[in-house]
Amino acid sequence: MEVLKIATAGSVDDGKSTLIGRLLYDTKSMTDDKLEAIERTSKQKGYDYLDFSLATDGLVAEREQGITIDVAHIYFSTPSKSYIIADTPGHVEYTRNMVTGASTSQASIILIDARKGVIEQTHRHFFINNLLRIKDVIVAINKMDLVDFSEETYNTIKADFQELMKKRDYQDQNITFIPVSALKGDNVVNRSGNTPWYNGQTLLEHLEELDQKDIYNTGTPRFPVQYVIRPKTEDFHDFRGFAGKVYGGELNVGDEVVVLPSMTKSRIKDIYFYNKQYKTAPRRSSVTITLEDEVNVSRGDMLVKVGDLPTIDKQLTATVSWMDSASFTPGGKYVLQHGVNKVLAKVDAIEHKIHPDYSGIEENVSSLQMNDIAKVRLRLNKPIFYDKFKEHRTNGSFIIIDSRTNNTAGVGFIE
Amino acid sequence: MNGVDRPSANALEHEAIYIMREVAAQFEKPVLLFSGGKDSITLVRLAQKAFWPAKIPFPLMHIDTGHNFPETIEFRDRLVEELGVELIVRNVQDSIDEGKVVEETGKYASRNMLQTTTLLDAIEEFKFDACIGGARRDEEKARAKERIFSVRDDFGQWDEKNQRPELFDMLNGQIEMGQNVRVFPISNWTELDVWSYIQKENIEIPSIYFAHKRKTFLRDGLIWSAEDEVVFRAEDEKVEERMVRFRTVGDMSCTAAVESHADTIDKVVAEIRNSRISERGARIDDKRSEAAMEKRKQQGYF
Ligand SMILES: Nc1nc2c(ncn2[C@@H]2O[C@H](COP(=O)(O)OP(=O)(O)O)[C@@H](O)[C@H]2O)c(=O)[nH]1
């Protein structure tokens, strides 16, 4: 079954939790025991409607604070697709969580409260969706019931958002506007009789129609080797399989490949998935590849097609989103993990900080704090084999690990 | 070549295999926690796929509550034999006998909580640095935030406020001495995904997952097995024979059955598809308190 991961963004109280609860409820994905719990709690709180937001608000600590503080995953499915929603909070200080949720998503929903319209937060949400190059973005204009389902309000908000879209760097993004009421259910799963002026799809209809080509940017195939399989059994005495996941494009038996960094050429002999052989290893499949020649390959090496080399370099410029409480400073030393490959990295310079609300850049910054986004230059102890993030979402990104704490301290998008 | 050009496009399966391989590559002493339930059986199949034609490069470990359905133990031993992998068993009973934990008493007594101590001791004994488990984020709200690589401190504790962000496919398994990582390759699967996979792959599972006749009694609206001594039953709780199956196979004393006529995998999948009760709805210890799972996790439970 097809799986679609969706990130959500909205400010506190825009109705994100309610929208997710509504999706679960109207797709009949909410189980009776969960629904009962919601009915019970809604009654206890004295509400005269069902508080669907209770379907997502997880941890005890959060319930005390009354907000969602991290990335939570919610699951629901229709007969044609499995959906995973990465619910990320709307607070300014949680840029980090939004970036995290967006990194694994193929689509995203930006929520706007129809009474408030496009606000500074919306700029940030859109900025991050753009930075992460999410292909399909849905702008859900929520709480339409509170503005009498006014077409004019909807159009004003849409026009404001289109103004914001002029600032975007990633032009290829598909953006859809939908007027909804999460609380009442208008245009979420079912078409609303309250918006006769709206001819578009409901939120779910839109998601159901998204197809692989709408959500993945195609690129060139990259095969980072995760693990070398050498069974050393009688039946497979000479078997040397390179296990990994294919990114960007597909690989085929017979393809001429180059092994990086040794630059050795060979040809793909067999493609295995478990105990069967296939002609093609599609994008995002976890396969095992054998080569025609005996080539020395180890974890962190990469197979690419001849004539299709990535950049091989020890220096790079990247946009970094910093996620750690310890600051990022020039001269600082880190471990850089690029796919499954780890190298040491030194910060050469912070070129400038980027305000994630499109309000410009800031030069002469001495360090980065949690939730900062900046353009930086890094020097590595060994070359890595990368593409620009623009051209390859997987091979153009890396994480930064603080070797003192082992924490994942930041993520980078290579220029 | 077998007529089909490309492997099936089950994104969840490819993701889980990727995670298995990251574990084998990033850790020195991983172990797969095996309970005999459908989730851990699924993990075993995924591990087989990840490393074929080599054997699974880590042992399986069963933390035995002593309250297992006999069918699960038979099943476990047969599977391990077939795979040719090492099986480690550590018993909750031993932790009780050594006085490390005290058996719960009363109507809702179970050994689920006690497993934690036995597990942590076993991790210490074997110096495991990664434990692969079959937990899924859809099981419970407190699990919804669990990472794929979830770092635990020396005391097995989970600090939900201080978890590493996981970006794209990149998994950071760097840890300090004494720390270990719980790994959840099927994090993103739902109960239905697991059942559909078992169906498609034709994976054998213990018979108690299928509808069968069993002596049972009712309590708190749930159906309990009356055939097994470890399940507490009060005098006035009437025993009746019912067609039932189990949706999870944890500690027998706290795993309720559901009424069902689904005696084949196809029927089970169809039933789950239409089911309106989550699988944990039938596990009494989660009902004790809404925050039960979260508290247990902070104490090192899976
Ligand atoms: N009238 C109306 N209220 C809504 C709608 N969506 C959400 N709300 C209410 O707005 C408040 C905040 O919603 P919630 O889902 O908790 O927001 P979150 O902070 O974005 O998750 C709650 O009281 C909801 O009942 C809507 O479409 N119409």
Task: Identify the residue whose tokens are 């978890």.
Answer: B163
pLDDT digits (tens, 9 = 90+) for A22-66: 998 898 888 777 788 788 878 888 887 788 877 765 444 455 544
Work out the minimum CA distance from A92 to partner chain B, whole angstroms: 17
Q: Which of residues 392-411 of A touch B (CB under 8 A)?
A: 393-394, 397-399, 401, 403, 406-408, 411
The answer, for A190 touching chain B at a CB cutoff of 8 Å, is no
If you average pLDDT over every residue of chain B, what do you get? 85
With CB atoms and an 8 Å threshold, state whether B7 touches A285: yes
Angle between helices A151-165 and A120-131 (to 10 degrees): 50
Domain A3-215 superfamily per CATH: P-loop containing nucleotide triphosphate hydrolases (3.40.50.300)
Type of residue numbered B3 = G
List chain A residues with CB under 8 Å of B25: 226-227, 299, 340
Q: For ligand 1, is residue A16 a contact (CB within 6 Å)?
A: yes
Work out the minimum CA distance from A354 to partner chain B, whole angstroms: 20
Tokens read off for A376:
């930086």
- Say yes or no to pLDDT of B1 above 80: no
Q: What is the pLDDT of residue B292?
A: 47
The closest alpha carbon to A365, from A400, A330, A331, belongs to A330
Q: Give ipTM to 2 decimals.
A: 0.94
- Say yes or no to pLDDT of B155 above 80: no
With CB atoms and an 8 Å threshold, state whether B25 touches A226: yes
With CB atoms and an 8 Å threshold, state whether A285 touches B6: yes
- Strands B149-152 and A81-87 turn out to be unpaired
Question: Which run of H or E residues covers position A2?
Answer: strand A2-9
Domains and CATH numbers, chain B: 11-193+291-298 (3.40.50.620), 207-286 (no CATH)
Give chain B's length.
302
Phi first, then psi, for residue A342 (nearest 5°) are -115, 135
The answer to whether the CB of B88 falls within 8 A of the CB of B31 is yes
Domain ranges for chain A: 3-215, 222-305, 311-414
Tokens read off for B270:
């169809």
The answer, for B213 touching chain A at a CB cutoff of 8 Å, is no
Phi first, then psi, for residue A104 (nearest 5°) are -105, 5
pLDDT digits (tens, 9 = 90+) for A82-128: 999 988 765 655 788 889 999 999 999 999 999 999 999 999 999 99
Q: What is the pLDDT of residue B286?
A: 42
Percent of chain A with pLDDT over 70: 94
pLDDT digits (tens, 9 = 90+) for B38-84: 999 999 999 999 999 999 999 999 999 888 888 889 999 999 999 99
Q: What is the C-alpha end-to-end distance of chain A, expressed in Å?
A: 34
CATH of domain A222-305: 2.40.30.10
The domain made up of A311-414 has a fold known as Elongation Factor Tu (Ef-tu); domain 3 (2.40.30)
The answer to whether the CB of A300 falls within 8 A of the CB of A224 is yes
Q: Which residues of chain A have pLDDT under 70?
A: 56-70, 89-93, 217-218
User: Shortest CB distance from B144 goes to which of A72, A244, A279?
Assistant: A72
